[in-house]
């Protein structure tokens, strides 16, 4: 069946010819060379041109419509194209095999739907960013010199560590310390004459001492 623009759509009866052909996708103006007999859908995938094919190329969803502007394809007969679409050279990409150099165009209504969906996605992303605080954990290794306990300064080793961390700019109001670190603290502070290094993970709203070692890094 001959159509406008010198393009040709045949019922898929004959075996595919040998050779390779160039396929140009508009309006992306993207081209790719593929073997004869390749489906338009596969050519689009190879060219990184997105087509909606929710049936995975089985020819039952009718969403991978293209307009054949130049060249020849063999198409398996399908009831998913109206007579009006056929008269305008519409083809289903998954049911059309390439038989020459061709040019196809993604229909305008498909592009409009794609842009609308993309816009909805961007808007949703903006809304989520406004609702969710970004979490960026950061590990700091902080050397701390502690004062030895005295009669006048009898606070615990942990309180002594917190005091040293405050001097280094750490907000201890939201600081947590696990049981493992608390068990290691007494030995660590005395091994190197009250010099230790605290590993602190800072998040947006809290911090935690995740490690304690003797001496300074």
Domain positions in the chain are: 4-114, 138-214
Distance CA 148, CA 152 (A): 11
What pLDDT score was predicted for residue 161? 92
Q: Has residue 65 got a pLDDT over 70?
A: yes
For residue 209, give both structure tokens: 């001492």
Q: Residue 112: is it exposed, middle or buried by C-beta count within 10 angstroms (0-12/13-18/19+)? A: exposed
Dihedral sign for Cα 31, 35, 36, 39, please: negative
Segment 50-67 shows an average pLDDT of 85
For the 138-214 domain, the top CATH level (class) is alpha beta
What pLDDT score was predicted for residue 125? 57
For the 4-114 domain, the top CATH level (class) is alpha beta
Tens digits of residue pLDDT in 131-147? 555 555 578 899 999 98
**Given this chain, do its domains 4-114 and 138-214 carry the same CATH topology?**
yes
Helix residue ranges, H only, the chain: 40-46, 83-87, 108-131, 157-167, 179-191
Tens digits of residue pLDDT in 73-123? 999 999 999 999 999 999 999 999 999 999 999 888 776 655 554 555 556
């Amino acid at each position: 069946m001959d159509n406008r623009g010198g393009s040709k759509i045949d019922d898929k009866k004959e075996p595919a010819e040998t050779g390779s052909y160039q396929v140009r996708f508009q309006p992306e103006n993207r081209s790719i060379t593929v073997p004869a007999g390749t489906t338009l859908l596969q050519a689009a995938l190879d060219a990184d041109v997105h087509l909606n094919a929710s049936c995975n190329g089985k020819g039952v969803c009718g969403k991978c419509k293209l307009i054949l502007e130049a060249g020849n394809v063999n198409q398996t007969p399908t009831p998913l194209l109206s007579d009006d679409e056929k008269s305008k050279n519409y083809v289903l990409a998954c049911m059309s095999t390439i038989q020459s150099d061709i040019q196809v165009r993604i229909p305008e209504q498909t592009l409009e739907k794609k842009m609308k969906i993309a816009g909805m996605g961007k808007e949703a992303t903006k809304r989520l960013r406004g609702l969710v605080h970004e979490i960026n954990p950061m590990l700091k290794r902080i050397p701390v010199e502690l004062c030895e306990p005295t009669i006048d300064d009898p606070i615990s080793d942990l309180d002594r560590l917190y005091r040293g961390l405050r001097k280094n700019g750490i907000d201890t109001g939201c600081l947590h310390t696990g049981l493992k670190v608390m068990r290691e603290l007494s030995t660590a502070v005395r091994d190197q004459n009250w010099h230790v290094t605290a590993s602190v993970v800072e998040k947006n709203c809290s911090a935690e001492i995740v490690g304690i070692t003797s001496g300074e890094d």
